[in-house]
Amino acid sequence: MEGQELPAVLIDCVGGKRGVYEDHAEFLEKYFRLITMKEYLENKSLGRKIRAVYQWFHKPVVNQELLQSLPNLEVVASAGVGIDHLDLRLLSSRGVKVSNTPLVVSTDTADLGMALMLASSRRIVEGHQIAVSPNTQHFAADWLGTEVSGATLGIVGMGTIGYKVAQRARAFEMKILYYNRRQRNKEEEGAVGAIYCKKIDDLLRQSDFVLLSVNLTPQTHKLIGKRELELMKPTATLINISRGLVVDQDALVEALQNRVIKAAALDVTHPEPLPRDHPLLKLGNVVLTPHIGSATRQTRRRMMEGMLESIQAALAGLPVPNEVLP
């Protein structure tokens, strides 16, 4: 509309390795005046205009200092499902709403969980290295992986993502156990053939694959430590698609080095990336991926669209889709 200014939204930057994608920015500029951190820092008076923060993979960092300079901030839209990087109470106390993008990431993340389980058990990364190595003359007959079909999968955290993993695993005729804050209803369990374990110990003792798909909260911080790893089978594999801090990383390194468990496949660590001299980088029985749970073109587009919607709703005083309450 002529004369109407588009609402000002703070972003970190456009393009490059960490910024908002150029085609996304182009799209968003139809609805918002995007202000980069650089522009804002050069002209702090812009702070008064900013009504929303579009937080693309934790950037820009939203802390006390920033909040104090954005008096008219109404909403922070965060990309992805995890919000452990935001101080929800602080934001709430300033009347700032928070939104995330839980559903759109769920299928990609479940797919990656399956990809990691299959890649680890069938030794895809090692196999590729052998297949392309200049030293390879023959393929050895005694080079073996382990079967996924028919094995037991224990899902720790049966939310949207965990349930989608169960749906996929069922098609591989896996036996599915799960541990969750609350038991799912009979129909949901029946649809994927999942058996509830009241105690995580029962799940850990019986599983060939243990997959972590919980939120990171104070309760799930270091959920998997020395004790839990020792309860797992020595032939078991740990798969983490949640947050690095759900696992006691030092305990994991020790368990992998001493063959307390067979292997691990981790999309998430703490920190990301790990220091280049970290033992996890050098273990032969570890597959690491660079936090790519939602890293497809299609999903990232849907994330952007969801964030746009949430910001627009917040600014219009309407119920905010995917609002995260403290």
| Residue 170 burial class via C-beta count within 10 angstroms: exposed 0-12, middle 13-18, buried 19 and up | middle
> Which residue's entry shows tokens 């934790």?
58
Q: Which is nearer to another protein, 176 or 320 (CB)?
A: 176
CB 63 to another protein: min, Å: 19
CB 101 to another protein: min, Å: 14
Q: Which is nearer to another protein, 16 or 95 (CB)?
A: 16
Q: Which is nearer to another protein, 163 or 314 (CB)?
A: 163
Given a contact cutoff of 8 angstroms between Cβ atoms, the answer to whether 33 and 54 are in contact is no
Query: Could you give the residue numbers annotated as active site?
Result: 243, 272, 291
CB 50 to another protein: min, Å: 22
Phi (first) and psi of residue 189, to 5 degrees:
-65, -45
Query: By three-state DSSP, how is residue 310 classified?
Result: helix
Round to whole Å and give the CA distance between 97 and 51: 11
CB 219 to another protein: min, Å: 27
Closest CA to 118 of 263, 248, 252: 263
Binding site for another protein (CB under 8 A): 16-19, 21, 56-57, 107-108, 110-112, 114-116, 118-119, 122-125, 127-128, 130-132, 134, 136-150, 167-173, 272-273, 276, 281-282, 287-292, 295-300
- What does each C-alpha distance from 62 to 54, 83, 307 come to in angstroms? 10, 12, 16
Phi (first) and psi of residue 177, to 5 degrees:
-110, 150
- What does each C-alpha distance from 263 to 184, 255, 267, 268, 318 come to in angstroms? 29, 9, 14, 15, 48
DSSP-assigned beta bridge partners for residue 56: 59
CB 274 to another protein: min, Å: 8
Q: Which is nearer to another protein, 218 or 275 (CB)?
A: 275
Q: Would you give the distance in Å from CA 209 to the centre of its chain?
A: 19
Round to whole Å and give the CA distance between 226 and 21: 41
CB 191 to another protein: min, Å: 11
- What does each C-alpha distance from 14 to 10, 19, 247, 312 come to in angstroms? 11, 5, 33, 20
Q: Which is nearer to another protein, 151 or 214 (CB)?
A: 151
Given a contact cutoff of 8 angstroms between Cβ atoms, the answer to whether 53 and 30 are in contact is no
Q: Which is nearer to another protein, 99 or 120 (CB)?
A: 120
